[in-house]
Chain A
Amino acid sequence: MTEVAIAPSFNRAATKHRAVAGRKLRSSLGWAFCGICFLLVAAPLIDIILLVLVRGFSALSVDLLTQVTQGVSGGLLNAIEGTIVLSIGALIIGVPIGVGAGVYLSEFGDGRFGQTVRFLADVLTGVPSIVLGYFSYVTMVIWLGWQFSVLAASITLAIMILPYMAKMTELVLRQIPIPMREAAYALGAGDRKVVLRVLLPVALPGILTAVLLSLAISVGETAPLIYTAGWSNYLWDGKLVRSPIGYLTYVIWSFINQPFASAHALAFAAALLVMMTVLAINLAARAILRVRGG
């Protein structure tokens, strides 16, 4: 199924003899197809944003950002804080492991172990979030006695982003031409120096994209957190275990199922906040990159 789309066999000699006009036409049709593809996803996105904006509009206020949740009213400060804490937790655990694994796969991963890891990373993306959530619930929340906790939830999210980080890091690094590595070796650098000083800095923009995508995927999840983070109407007390924490996606899922219009507005406001938070992080990262790139 992939072949049809990506690699039409291409006979250069034959095309050369075709009429230039025909090729121009095909070319414009091709570009039109690409543009239409973009519109095909831009339209739903705009519609989704409008839906969220219109339905969440009545809940948008300063209270939203300064108050904690009281039942199904009040603000979402606790949930915003929780989402940030859990995301940072997930990134702290998941990114170093994911990038390290990605470096290994790209640079040393052509052996059997590398093939296995690469394969299992793909399998891991297919494990449903609810299964990971329930796994963490039985092992960490109950068996280890952590109860609902930041630690259990962050580890679960980290497991979720791990394969994305590893795979995307690998793909980015593989794009870096071999001569660059050889040049560095010729200058006497070891593995460590080549990776840390040459490869990772060059790959940084791509890795940041991977981090952002992972973040987006993990922050948008509800199912794994319901069984690991629980929920809290209060601000986080700073404890890593035995203390539940709030998060925005819970608000979306459970408030949308309430009979009150105010709860629905809060749910859509929470959806807006999730998207805005990740967008803000995204833009900030781009700004940092641009400043650095000069």
Chain B
Amino acid sequence: MDSAPTGLARSVAKGKGRKGSISPFRMTLIGLAGVIPVVIGAVLLFLVVYAWPAIRFNGIDFLLTKTWDLGNLYADPVPRHGVLAPIGATYGCLVFVAGTLASSFLALLVAVPISLGIAVFLAEGVKRVLRTPFAIVVELLAVVPSVVYGLWGIIVLVPIAAHIIAPVLAAVFPFIPFLAQAGGSGFGLLSSSLVLALMVIPVITITVFEALNRIPKEAKEAAYALGTTKFEMVFFTMLPMIRPAIIGAIILGLGRALGETMAVLMVSGGALNYMPTTLMSPISTMASFILSQLDSAEQDQSGLAVQSLAEIAIVLFVITVIVNIVARLMVRKGAGVSR
């Protein structure tokens, strides 16, 4: 458990000891909370049932190969692995898994420190009068439609990535192959991660800012009394106080990064059949690939193409689960160390 139990359950247990009876009100809450598992269950069930022929057809190769070929949709499908499949059809999602993990990880690497910096800046660093307008700036960032991020990415960010960031990185880190590719179009991992970071920042910032605002005055004053500077007070006393909120915010942001489609699609360079090797490599993410291929897949009369896209969704689902578990484990471990 990563947070101090603050809930009513605790108060009730302590105060009145009527743990056993469950009121209609509590039942209602359980029902509402139960909607989330039900929705997830329905979506997952749908995906598995829908993708079943593809799961049978693709087998384990789906996860291990990087070739995606719809095959010949204009000839009659032939039976293979017990399923009617277009001639030449092979489906492998390794490229998309790599693109998704790399772009989401880099996005968080950029977004987390910046978000914390902004949240602290808004909560403690600016005059009260400026707080609201500055907070609105961050909230506006969440309001920008995904497509507009994509357009801005193509027009502004991609050239900056290609002509400024890439050459500078190549000049500073010529010995790190991952960073040292000066050429390239700008469409790819770097631009995708930066666009994702911009989309994730408001989610994390707003949540952390809200939490900072809710820290009781007494706690702040106590920290001051210890003779720390204001900055030290904020960073080393206030931020640890809201650790659960920060972790929750980062996990929320991670979900947003993993699932984002349109903006990433527009600046990713649409890699197909090859893996990203450098920061400037074109990539494809699982979510953006599903979006971009759904239309073509619908022309496959055997249905295998759409079913394989559904299988990508299942893989993304599983990856999201794993990433969440890993994030929680890291949090728990970190919590143990710093206490």
Q: Do chains A and B make direct contact within the complex (CB under 8 angstroms)? A: yes
Residues of A within 8 A of B (CB): 1-3, 5-10, 12, 15-16, 23-24, 26-28, 30-31, 33-38, 40-42, 44-45, 47-49, 51-52, 96-97, 99-101, 103-111, 113-114, 116-117, 119-132, 134-135, 138-139, 159, 162-164, 166-168, 170-178, 181-182, 185-186, 190-192, 194-195, 206, 209, 212-213, 216-217, 219-223, 248-249, 252-253, 256, 271, 274-275, 278-279, 282-283, 286
A6 to B238, CA, bound (A): 10
CB pair B39–A124 under 8 Å, yes or no, is yes
Known A-B contacts A44-B152, A139-B46, A191-B23; A222 and B147 likewise in contact (beta carbons under 8 Å): yes
- Residues from chain B with Cβ under 8 Å of A174 in the complex: 3, 6-7, 244-245
Given contacts A174-B6, A206-B210, 20 further A-B contacts (CB under 8 A): A2-B250, A2-B327, A5-B116, A34-B121, A107-B29, A108-B30, A113-B33, A122-B252, A123-B317, A125-B259, A127-B317, A129-B261, A134-B294, A135-B42, A167-B248, A172-B210, A182-B11, A191-B25, A279-B140, A286-B132
Known A-B contacts A7-B338, A108-B7, A127-B317; A48 and B152 likewise in contact (beta carbons under 8 Å): yes
CB pair B210–A126 under 8 Å, yes or no, is no
A108 to B206, CA, bound (A): 25
- Residues from chain A with Cβ under 8 Å of B330 in the complex: 1-3
Interchain residue pairs with CB less than 8 A apart (19)? A1-B112, A1-B330, A2-B327, A7-B243, A31-B125, A42-B137, A97-B32, A99-B32, A104-B30, A109-B9, A122-B255, A128-B313, A130-B294, A163-B252, A171-B211, A172-B210, A177-B6, A177-B216, A249-B146
Interface string of B314-327 (1 = CB under 8 A from A): 00110011011001
Known A-B contacts A12-B226, A191-B26; A48 and B144 likewise in contact (beta carbons under 8 Å): yes
Interface of A is mostly: helix
Residue B20 is within 8 A (CB to CB) of chain A in the complex: no
Known A-B contacts A127-B43, A172-B210, A181-B8; A104 and B33 likewise in contact (beta carbons under 8 Å): yes
A120 CB, nearest partner CB in chain B, Å = 5
CB pair B232–A101 under 8 Å, yes or no, is no
A108 to B5, CA, bound (A): 9
Known A-B contacts A41-B141, A172-B210; A185 and B246 likewise in contact (beta carbons under 8 Å): no
Residue B88 is within 8 A (CB to CB) of chain A in the complex: no
A139 to B39, CA, bound (A): 13
Interface of B is mostly: helix
**Selected contact of B11 from candidates A185, A216, A286, CB within 8 Å:** A185
A32 to B317, CA, bound (A): 40
Known A-B contacts A9-B338, A217-B142; A167 and B12 likewise in contact (beta carbons under 8 Å): no
Q: Which residue of B lies closest to A290 (CB)?
A: B132
CB pair A256–B259 under 8 Å, yes or no, is no
- Residues from chain A with Cβ under 8 Å of B105 in the complex: 1
B288 CB, nearest partner CB in chain A, Å = 8
Known A-B contacts A104-B29, A182-B15; A37 and B144 likewise in contact (beta carbons under 8 Å): no
Residue B236 is within 8 A (CB to CB) of chain A in the complex: yes
Known A-B contacts A38-B121, A213-B202; A249 and B147 likewise in contact (beta carbons under 8 Å): yes
Known A-B contacts A24-B229, A171-B245; A128 and B121 likewise in contact (beta carbons under 8 Å): no
Residue B120 is within 8 A (CB to CB) of chain A in the complex: yes
- Residues from chain B with Cβ under 8 Å of A35 in the complex: 121, 125
CB pair B117–A36 under 8 Å, yes or no, is yes
CB pair B236–A223 under 8 Å, yes or no, is no
Give B112-163 interface residues, CB cut-off 8 Å to A.
Answer: 112-118, 120-122, 125, 132, 134, 136-149, 151-152, 155-157
- Residues from chain B with Cβ under 8 Å of A12 in the complex: 226
Residues of B within 8 A of A (CB): 1, 3, 5-12, 14-16, 23, 25-26, 28-37, 39-40, 42-43, 46-47, 50, 105, 108-109, 112-118, 120-122, 125, 132, 134, 136-149, 151-152, 155-157, 198, 201-203, 206-207, 210-211, 214-216, 226-232, 235-236, 239-240, 242-252, 254-256, 258-262, 286-287, 290-291, 294, 310, 313, 316-317, 320-321, 323-324, 327-328, 330-331, 334, 337-338
CB pair A125–B255 under 8 Å, yes or no, is yes
- Residues from chain A with Cβ under 8 Å of B139 in the complex: 212-213, 216, 282
Q: Which residue of A lies closest to B319 (CB)?
A: A126
A6 to B12, CA, bound (A): 32
Q: Which of A34, A52, A100, A126 has the most CB atoms of chain B within a 10 A radius of its CB?
A: A126
CB pair A252–B33 under 8 Å, yes or no, is no
A104 to B276, CA, bound (A): 43
CB pair A117–B143 under 8 Å, yes or no, is no
- Residues from chain B with Cβ under 8 Å of A45 in the complex: 137, 140-141, 144
Known A-B contacts A162-B36, A162-B39, A182-B15; A274 and B143 likewise in contact (beta carbons under 8 Å): yes
**Selected contact of A119 from candidates B109, B152, B324, CB within 8 Å:** B324
A172 CB, nearest partner CB in chain B, Å = 6
A208 CB, nearest partner CB in chain B, Å = 10
A43 to B150, CA, bound (A): 16
Q: Which residue of B lies closest to A28 (CB)?
A: B231
Q: Which residue of B lies closest to A27 (CB)?
A: B231
Q: Which residue of B lies closest to A272 (CB)?
A: B148
Q: Which residue of A lies closest to B112 (CB)?
A: A5
A37 to B116, CA, bound (A): 9
B239 CB, nearest partner CB in chain A, Å = 6
A250 CB, nearest partner CB in chain B, Å = 10
